[in-house]
Amino acid sequence: MNKKFLDLGNQPLANKYLRAYKKLTLKSNELYRLTVGFDNKTKLVSLINKIPDKKMFDGNYPYKSSMSKTMINSFKKLSIKIKKRFKPKLFFEIGSNDGALIKNFNISEVVCVEPCANLAKITNKKGYYTYNNYWNLSLAKKIKKNFGRADVIYSANTLTHINDLDDVFKSITHMLNKEGVLIIEDPSLLECFKKVSYDQFYNEHIYIFSALSVKKLINKFELELFDIEKLETHGGSLRYYIKWRQNKKIKIKNSVSKQLSSEVKFGLDSFKTYKKFGNSVKKSKNDLLKLLKTIKKKNQKIIGYGATAKASTVLNYCNIGNDMIDYFVDTTPDKKNRYMPGKNIKIKKYEKKLLNNVDYVYLGAWNFIKEIFKKEKKFIQKGGKFITHVPTPRII
């Protein structure tokens, strides 16, 4: 049973950046109640109201993985590791976005699937065979027929976006070689709780995985974890390495039991911890609003940096509009001159000069803090300050 522990209020679709501001309503299905629950049996954390995927992932999906150096470097490093450790003849990626990872592989070694037509078009144009489809069993059957089984199946920040996880893993097992490896990478629930980064919850993130939930989930499909890596990306992620249970050639590393026991130690297997998180989120909201109001009372200027899906959750949950944040800057071309979902805050195409005469910058992309600080040395030297709500609302 999915027991509610968090209510983030009425939220718009996180990646729908409007051309002109308009007030969205629940009645017209432009806003959705964002509540999150924990299932003690499966240990899964998931949204209580799920939005049909076709509403979220269409031909105009704005998010591109290649917009940050951090992600480009992370994918490059991973590709080297995969080639060295697993030597795949057929590498299959679920949710290839704009090709940030597959560009490190030879065209002939890769097949991928991407439901957003605008993104699939980019990788197909570069020569990478990309199915413009949602990931499901009938597609897996088709791909297996055309290309055979994959040696490595990889998916980053995608499986948590698909409602029917049983179908997801059934489809994966249909396509995975008997000696093959599945690698999945997603935000870590443990990190999310430690950082009170409640903005990891928005309608696209139907699930936030823990190692505890992944272990239970894959067990049904004769799969098992054999390694887990901790990553700094996306505010703290886990990279899960998974094999067929019957494959005894691959040894199970200590990293698996280590992660599982730190999750149990933190209390991720008990609803009490979830209730506590819910209270920390309320406090985070109050403290952030207090901080922003104090700054605005002094007539100082705040802008946002990184028009993220995460920021959409924060703005709508805390009710932050352009009375507090003048505008957001973002490097993504498809977000330019749009409005933050549900809020009257404009997104401007990033230019350094947009930080002139700004007192505070709210980090919508707090997960790229190192990359952004490096880029904005001048702003910092001139006395500019950053604001983040992670792990507690504060000025940096």
The CA–CA distances, whole Å, from 125 to 117, 119, 121 equal 12, 10, 6
Number of C-beta neighbours around residue 109 at 10 A? 16
Contact of 195 with 390, CB cutoff 8 Å: yes
Nearer to ligand DWN, 239 or 335 (CB): 335
Residue-level length of the chain = 396
Between CA 395 and CA 305 the distance in angstroms is 14
| Residues in binding contact with ligand DWN, number by CB under 6 A | 22
| Residues of span 68-107 touching ligand DWN by CB under 6 A | 68
Instruction: Decide: helix, strand or coil at residue 53.
Output: helix
Between CA 51 and CA 40 the distance in angstroms is 23
Select from 170, 172, 173, 202 the least CA-distant residue to 187.
Answer: 202
Query: Which residues lie across from 390 on neighbouring strands?
Result: none
362 scored as a contact of ligand DWN (CB under 6 A): no
204 scored as a contact of ligand DWN (CB under 6 A): yes
Which of 350, 360, 362, 379 contacts ligand DWN by CB under 6 A? 350
Question: Binding segment for ligand DWN among 5-13, 118-126, 223-231, 326-334 (CB under 6 A)?
Answer: 326-334
Which of 66, 133, 331, 344 contacts ligand DWN by CB under 6 A? 331
388 scored as a contact of ligand DWN (CB under 6 A): no
Number of C-beta neighbours around residue 261 at 10 A? 11
Q: How far apart are the first and last CA of the chain?
A: 41
159 scored as a contact of ligand DWN (CB under 6 A): no
330 scored as a contact of ligand DWN (CB under 6 A): yes
206 scored as a contact of ligand DWN (CB under 6 A): no
234 scored as a contact of ligand DWN (CB under 6 A): yes
What are the DSSP calls for 220-234, one per residue?
Answer: TTTEEEEEEEEE-GG
| Residues of span 294-313 touching ligand DWN by CB under 6 A | 306-310
Question: Binding segment for ligand DWN among 79-87, 105-113, 175-183, 367-375 (CB under 6 A)?
Answer: 367-375
Which of 372, 389, 390, 393 contacts ligand DWN by CB under 6 A? 372
Select from 234, 207, 190 the least CA-distant residue to 65.
Answer: 234
Q: Tell me the closest approach of the beta carbon of residue 94 to ligand DWN, in angstroms.
A: 13
Q: Tell me the closest approach of the beta carbon of residue 72 to ligand DWN, in angstroms.
A: 10
Q: Tell me the closest approach of the beta carbon of residue 237 to ligand DWN, in angstroms.
A: 9
Q: Tell me the closest approach of the beta carbon of residue 87 to ligand DWN, in angstroms.
A: 28
Nearer to ligand DWN, 124 or 157 (CB): 157
371 scored as a contact of ligand DWN (CB under 6 A): yes
157 scored as a contact of ligand DWN (CB under 6 A): yes
What are the DSSP calls for 71-131, one per residue?
Answer: HHHHHHHHHHHHHHHH--SSEEEES-TTSTTGGGS-GGGEEEE-S-HHHHHHHHHTT-EEE
Question: Binding segment for ligand DWN among 61-69, 177-185, 319-327, 379-387 (CB under 6 A)?
Answer: 61-69
365 scored as a contact of ligand DWN (CB under 6 A): yes
Between CA 126 and CA 124 the distance in angstroms is 5
Between CA 262 and CA 111 the distance in angstroms is 36
184 scored as a contact of ligand DWN (CB under 6 A): no
- Point out which residues bind ligand DWN (CB under 6 A): 63, 67-68, 157, 204, 234, 306-310, 330-332, 335, 350, 365, 367-368, 371-372, 375
